[in-house]
Structure 1
Amino acid sequence: MFDLVIRNGTVVTASDVTQCDIGIRGERIVMLGESLPAGRDEIDAAGLYVMPGGIDSHVHLAQPSGDGIVMADGFESGTRSALMGGNTTVLPFCLQQKGQTLREALTAYHALAEGNCLTDVSFHLIITDPTAGVLGQEIPALVEDGYTSLKVFMTYEGMRLHDNEILATLDAARTSGALVMVHCENEDAIRFLIGKHEEAGDVSPLAHATTRPVAAEREATHRALSLAEIVDVPIVIVHVSNREAMEEIDRARKRGVKVFGETCPQYLMLTADDLDREGWEGAKFVCSPPPRDEASKAACWQGLEQGIFDLYSSDHCPFRFDDPAGKLNDKGKTSFRWIPNGIPGVETRLPILFSEGVMKGRIDLSRFVALTSTNHAKLYGLYPRKGTIAVGSDADVTLWDPKAHRTIHNADLHHGADYTPYEGLEVQGWPVSVILRGRVMVKDGVLAADPGSGTYLRRKRSRS
């Protein structure tokens, strides 16, 4: 007998849309077909889309953010918010601080996550101190232990790596089989422009956008791709915000560089004008790279439609707005320089793309599943356990009501931030029930599980 049968739904994967029932036993999908035998529990999914649980592979939770600054989400609130938005797996970052070993950083992050997660989780490793021991010993050992992705920054003093350090990290990734994600912005150009703005007394939130122009992202993207080409290793260019950076990715692919592109909701829905709101409200929209203009938004939609982007992630990096430990800290109220970079978005990621993408005809259902789940699983070593609906896969399933109309209000969301950048946005389509490894976690829009239901995932090397 099945433990759970999902009947009468329209099952959507990255390759097919079909009508069938799903039989679940334990944590796995064990049968797909018509008129399956009865289960101990059953869900009637008539009129609903039945999709793999979302995988958000770009999430910041409980991350150290500077003196006196506290991230709004730890693992409990962050994974709760992810779950209620239709996600069953998130990949947060484990930040290595200067002077710290990767093992020390991981021990601290695992302690924060243990017993608190409502989705499955797996960590990317942020490399800020690429010592000989980190590169030659820790990375190879950790990749064998299932930590198969790294991230490097080309911006943020104290976190950025210089080109020689990036090359060394890419080389360590090549020999160990890790996949490297790169945040592409030119820190020297940004620091130069910050100085010019400060000399002119231009310190409003909008200055955050004008000190991080498209050219700084485009140049760094070209440089990251050139470094990857030199080492001959695949890379992921994360949170791309504009056509110029997209063109660099396209040109590199035509040269034979193996590169994957990612964009995020803020680059589809926001512009730099949002940073220019009355008073200090623009601080709510400060993130890096910043939102651009209407032409850039249109370009990013084209990138999703035409295949420049393989991934659609939230880059959920939440801070409270009206809080001395958040956006309006003592320094943050005086200059854009001290406003914590990042916005919340893990819960609204999927509804925004479903509404603006699928329901408006920009992408089809299978492309939605690929961008939000399957490609993440394949790229980060979780497929076919995650990211699809197939016999033998984990029973991670989200049921979507395409007729549901919702207006996004922060009061209805489950993250720890006191605002959403998408306040008042009307969307069509919403995840109504979410199943994690065979367990109903959200039933008819109501949380039905406790923290600790999620598990840590050891990953394989990328299927890139």
Structure 2
Amino acid sequence: MRTILLRNVKIPVDNELVEESILIENNIIKAISKKNYEADEVVDGNGLIAVPGGIDVHAHVYDPENPEHEDWRTGSLAAAYGGITTLIDMPLRVFVDKTEVAMEKIRVAARDSYVNYGLTGGFLTEQNYDAIEKLVKIGVKTFKIFTCRPFQASEKGLAKIFEKAAEKNVVVIAHAEDEGILTLLEGKYREANDIEAYHLSRSPGAEAAAVLKLGYYSLETGARLHIAHLSSKEGVDAVTFMKNKNPKITAETCPHYLYFTREDSRVHGTFLKMAPTLKTSIDREALWDALEKGIVEVYASDNAPSPRSLKEKDVWSAWGGIPNLEIMGPFLFTHGVLKGKISLQTYINVFSRNPARLLGLYPFLGEISVGSLADIVVLNTREQRLISSKTHHHKVDWTPWEGLSFYGHPYYVMVHGELIIEKGELVGEPGTGMYVGDLERVGVDA
């Protein structure tokens, strides 16, 4: 039995940092104590903070027909440098609604991923909602739908999807924007070849309307609903309203909605195009507040980069999406914890614990506790690191985060007890990660 002792680290307990040592045996946390246990390998945490590895439930990592955007090797390495130890791959263009497609994605991840991995199925429509029945057998627990272009599910389709999701106790992850409102607003703004016009064409009202509709589908069927990439105060208000009626609704937001506003697109142009769109500083602050209050439970990347050539087009045809994996933990620590917008416990809740609960894997994942998988990140809280497309690990040669510096980059990253990053340097190998669909599910919060 191989043992590792991670010593001299500070673990957040309630509102305090407690200096402890963590004994790891065969990938599992065996003991947490002030004792200096004997071990095959000793890793000195240098008095830094140790947190559970981040779990990103919404990342576009590998599309077999579009590998030039990102792949498992680049995406998982960027994720590790972002403090993430588990990635759930979201479909990008290729539908993941057949077992053979899902198994091919898993095969490539097993070969290339530095971190643990899983899949979201989809995109579900009236034609393929029975994919839930097939994919749940191989450990898929989350399924993506759209209420709008480009993969819109019909009203009839939504009913079938939610009924099947309730039957199988899986999570419906929804891109929530109302297609009718989008059509109305695009007609109003389309003539302006302007990035701010694009952002205005997908309004907070479109988001809120779709959240309410989906919330009632969840309420009527009993299916679990997770609202993806919430971007607006009106969206937060709609989620809050539905949560008061239905405890089976959760929501996520992303770093770009917590930092940029549509005014920033005047500088970045189409390199800040995404959907849902950027909103205002009022929306941004409402999202931070919702994270701290637990209204928005999950922090996710919606990583969706593309080659530069696809971004350098007119605003209506340019690719929508940005690289986010590498900044995830450092951004949340710097602009959330250090700036007092969220507590360190909230950082852990939204980045680790709650995503693990969503997947039905808490506390085996998402926690530093005896019996948990040893997915641990030790944060470098003493030094900043500059973000640059010249040094990041994404596949693309650009980033809207260019020139920003963050604290909280990984000093160490352990993926089920294996050191991937040591003192900020890569020491791990691709193929280290494991498929979380094979893990025993404990503590499901249905």
Shift of 1:439: 1.0
Structure 2 distance, partners of 1:112, 1:276, is 39
1:189 counterpart = 2:172: no
> Which of 278, 281, 284 is the aligned partner of 1:297?
284
Kept after mapping to 2: 8 A contact 1:395/1:435: yes
Aligned length: 443
Q: Percent identity?
A: 27
Cα 1:104–1:404 change in 2 (3 A) is: same
What's 1:160 paired with? Answer: 152
Shift of 1:437: 1.1
Kept after mapping to 1: 8 A contact 2:121/2:135: no
Structure 2 distance, partners of 1:306, 1:83, is 27
What's 1:171 paired with? Answer: 163
Structure 1 distance, partners of 2:20, 2:388, is 35
1:247 counterpart = 2:229: no
Kept after mapping to 1: 8 A contact 2:97/2:123: no
Structure 1 distance, partners of 2:293, 2:205, is 23
Alignment of 1:189-268 (within 5 A): 189-198=181-190, 201-268=191-258
Shift of 1:218: 1.4
Aligned alpha-carbon RMSD (Å): 2.1
Q: Which SS does the other structure have where 2:436 is aligned? A: coil
Decide which moves more: 350-359 or 105-114.
Answer: 105-114
Shift of 1:29: 1.1
Q: Which SS does the other structure have where 1:193 is aligned? A: helix
Cα 1:13–1:285 change in 2 (3 A) is: farther
Shift of 1:197: 3.0
Alignment of 1:31-110 (within 5 A): 31-63=31-63, 71-94=68-91, 97=94, 101-110=97-106
Shift of 1:59: 0.2
Structure 2 distance, partners of 1:442, 1:13, is 24
Kept after mapping to 1: 8 A contact 2:91/2:123: no
Shift of 1:183: 0.7
1:315-334 Cα shifts (integer Å, max 9, x gaps): 1111132x2xx212xxxx2x
1:463 counterpart = 2:408: no
Q: Which SS does the other structure have where 2:407 is aligned? A: strand
1:82-112 Cα shifts (integer Å, max 9, x gaps): 01111111111246857x8422431342343
Cα 1:91–1:455 change in 2 (3 A) is: same
TM-score (norm 2): 0.93
> Which of 351, 362, 371 is the aligned partner of 1:372?
351
Cα 1:172–1:453 change in 2 (3 A) is: same
- The amino acid of 1:271's aligned partner reads T
Structure 2 distance, partners of 1:102, 1:208, is 34
Cα 1:251–1:129 change in 2 (3 A) is: closer
Q: Which SS does the other structure have where 1:248 is aligned? A: helix
1:401-443 Cα shifts (integer Å, max 9, x gaps): 2221223222221111222222222323321110111111100
Cα 1:123–1:305 change in 2 (3 A) is: same
Structure 1 distance, partners of 2:6, 2:362, is 22
Cα 1:349–1:305 change in 2 (3 A) is: same
Shift of 1:312: 0.7
Structure 1 distance, partners of 2:303, 2:233, is 22
1:339 counterpart = 2:321: no
Cα 1:70–1:34 change in 2 (3 A) is: closer
Structure 1 distance, partners of 2:372, 2:290, is 29
Structure 1 distance, partners of 2:79, 2:359, is 18
Shift of 1:70: 5.9
What's 2:140 paired with? Answer: 147
What's 2:425 paired with? Answer: 446
Structure 1 distance, partners of 2:67, 2:185, is 27
1:122 counterpart = 2:118: yes
Shift of 1:4: 1.0
Structure 2 distance, partners of 1:17, 1:235, is 34
Structure 2 distance, partners of 1:338, 1:191, is 16
Q: Which SS does the other structure have where 1:367 is aligned? A: helix
Kept after mapping to 1: 8 A contact 2:386/2:406: yes
Q: What are the ranges of 5 or more consecutive residues in structure 2 without an aligned counterpart?
A: none
Cα 1:241–1:30 change in 2 (3 A) is: same
Kept after mapping to 2: 8 A contact 1:14/1:388: no
Decide which moves more: 115-124 or 353-362.
Answer: 353-362
Kept after mapping to 2: 8 A contact 1:58/1:313: yes
Q: Which SS does the other structure have where 2:346 is aligned? A: helix
